[in-house]
Amino acid sequence: MFKRPRGTRDLLPKEMAARRAVESVLRETFERYGYGEVQTPTFEHLELITAKSGDEITDHLYDFVDKSNRKLTLRPELSAPTIRLYVNELRNRPKPRKLYYFENCFRYERTQKGRYREFWQAGVELVGSARPEAEAEVVALAAACLENIGLKNYGLTIGNRGIFRAVFNHYNIAEDAQNLILSQLDKKDVQFADLDMPKDAKNITVSIIKPIAMIKESLANRKNIRSRLQTILKDDFKIIESELRDFEEFLDLLEGFGATDCEIDFLIARGLDYYTGMVFEIFAKEGLGAQNQILGGGTFSLVKLMGGGDVPSCGFGFGFDRLMLALESQGALPASAAAPRVFVVPETRKMLNRAIEIVSDLRKEVSCELELMGRKLGKALSYANTEEIAYVLIVSEDSEGDEVILKDMRSGAQKTIDYREVPDEVG
């Protein structure tokens, strides 16, 4: 027997039905906010991914050389390919460009719960605006997706890298040290003693960056953030006023969008270097253990990196597999539509042609399965029960004209009706 490759899954009909139902809600929600779907190649030039994430990412890629000696890789995520698409195809169109995606990705990593080597991402990129209202709408969209899906027990946390960058630049902290510190914050680690950086950078990190990273407030108490920053920065508070003013406006607008169940947490820093301002994450509060993040995003600068000019962007990506696990843990998976709603069974071989006519007509309106194994009625009913098919339609020799027997497999009740009434009965 052949086994599937490590880190991949076989998804059965019932699982796929639930995934498609959730996917449908995400797509509908994205489109209600004005986003259009795009699709990019399964593999990209390796340099596209390393330009975004650094050469060290190659240890986690399925990269290869093709027959023309080109270095390629299976895509590990969808932000970089989507921004490349924008630069190649859309950069001369009016802004903003609102794009969404839903595709599989590949990473060569240690597998664990909710983390596979082939996985799916769903997300959006709003290209062309980093204004507070654009950021607020993107975060509101992420929250709306979860509300529409039915995930209730989750947390939304928001941070701001722009304020950290302003402090770093004021104190002339080198960019490589900045990225090292932000990467440490992304790990939720504020112990900086072992970081390899100049003494002055480490002193600023301990005396200023660490206290800022410890700021945590609810949206309702967001006005405390300004006073806490003033206490930390003292006379240097003016160096962050511009970034803070935009962040405060973003938070005010977010409340207007109705996304009020969130927390401002400056320890949320997002480790990737291209994030420039607001960042946010959503995590499931139950069912996923330590690996509980299901969404990450923020304001970033990738267009410039790819040769498309200094164009700001804002977006997020769902880890779709983790999202499905979170829904399952909360008992919020949508009802499976994989099993046919109606199972049409000819009582005898003589009634097979009539059963075919009936099932062909009913399939115009409802999901139907025809008995294809020649089973006797009793065994056909047993099959329907095992497969959790809700209704069995029996085409009997004793029925007159268009009459059939409709049996509700859940209650056991049955009645004789005109088969054309079946869509109303089972709908």
CATH number of the CATH domain containing 403: 3.40.50.800
Rounded to 5 degrees, φ, ψ at 407 are -110, 125
303 residue type, one letter: V
**Is 78 a domain residue?**
yes
Count the neighbouring beta carbons within 10 Å of the beta carbon of residue 198. 11
Cβ pair 288, 322 in contact under 8 A: yes
Do 298 and 351 reside in the same domain of the chain?
no
114: closest CA among 297, 284, 337?
284
User: How far is residue 276's CA from residue 403's CA, in Å, rounded to a whole number?
Assistant: 68
Do 263 and 310 reside in the same domain of the chain?
yes
- Domain of 222, CATH number, reads 3.30.930.10
Instruction: For residue 256, give every residue at least 6 positions away whose Cβ sits within 8 Å of its Cβ, in sequence order, or none.
Output: 136
User: How far is residue 60's CA from residue 85's CA, in Å, rounded to a whole number?
Assistant: 23
Query: What is the chain's percent helix, strand, coil content, to nearest 5?
Result: 45, 20, 35
As for how many domains the chain has, the answer is 2
- DSSP code, position 42: S
Q: What pLDDT score was predicted for residue 273?
A: 67
**Is 400 a domain residue?**
yes
Do 232 and 372 reside in the same domain of the chain?
no
275: closest CA among 144, 81, 36, 79?
79
Do 212 and 308 reside in the same domain of the chain?
yes
Do 321 and 346 reside in the same domain of the chain?
no
Cβ pair 1, 111 in contact under 8 A: no
Q: Give the pairing type, strands 97-106 and 36-37.
A: parallel
Q: Give the pairing type, strands 368-370 and 391-395.
A: unpaired
Do 290 and 394 reside in the same domain of the chain?
no
User: How far is residue 285's CA from residue 47's CA, in Å, rounded to a whole number?
Assistant: 37
**Is 6 a domain residue?**
no
Q: What pLDDT score was predicted for residue 272?
A: 65
pLDDT (tens place) for every residue of the chain, 427 residues total: 899 999 999 999 889 999 999 999 999 999 999 999 999 999 999 999 998 777 788 999 999 999 999 999 999 999 999 999 999 999 999 999 999 999 999 999 888 877 899 999 999 999 999 899 999 999 999 999 999 999 988 999 999 999 999 999 999 988 888 888 888 888 887 777 677 778 888 888 889 999 999 999 999 999 999 999 999 999 999 999 999 999 999 999 999 999 888 999 998 877 566 788 899 999 998 777 777 899 999 999 899 988 899 999 999 999 999 999 999 998 988 876 556 789 999 999 999 999 999 999 999 999 999 999 999 999 999 999 999 899 999 999 998 889 999 999 999 999 999 999 999 999 7
Q: What pLDDT score was predicted for residue 367?
A: 92
Q: What pLDDT score was predicted for residue 184?
A: 83
Point out the domain boundary residue: 299, 329, 359: 329
Do 362 and 236 reside in the same domain of the chain?
no
Q: How many residues does the chain have?
A: 427
The DSSP result for 335-371, as a single string, is: PP--S-SEEEEESSGGGHHHHHHHHHHHTTTS-EEE-
Do 229 and 377 reside in the same domain of the chain?
no
Do 206 and 324 reside in the same domain of the chain?
yes
User: How far is residue 393's CA from residue 384's CA, in Å, rounded to a whole number?
Assistant: 11
Point out the domain boundary residue: 271, 300, 329: 329
371: closest CA among 402, 345, 335?
345
**Is 19 a domain residue?**
yes
Point out the domain boundary residue: 270, 300, 329: 329
219: closest CA among 280, 152, 130, 134?
280
**Is 260 a domain residue?**
yes
Do 245 and 378 reside in the same domain of the chain?
no
- Kindly give the residue spans of alpha helices, DSSP state H, lying in 205-314: 210-213, 224-233, 241-257
Beta bridge partners of residue 157, listed in sequence order: 263, 281
**Is 394 a domain residue?**
yes
40-69 b/e (C-beta count within 10 Å ≥ 16 → b): beebbebebbbbbbeeebeebbbbeeeeee
| The model's pTM | 0.90
Helices 132-149, 241-257: crossing angle, 10 deg rounding:
40
Domain that holds residue 373: 342-426
Do 206 and 86 reside in the same domain of the chain?
yes
User: How far is residue 27's CA from residue 187's CA, in Å, rounded to a whole number?
Assistant: 31
Q: What pLDDT score was predicted for residue 368?
A: 94
Q: In the structure encoding, which two tokens stand for residue 42, read together?
A: 């399964």
Do 215 and 306 reside in the same domain of the chain?
yes
**Is 5 a domain residue?**
no
**Is 406 a domain residue?**
yes
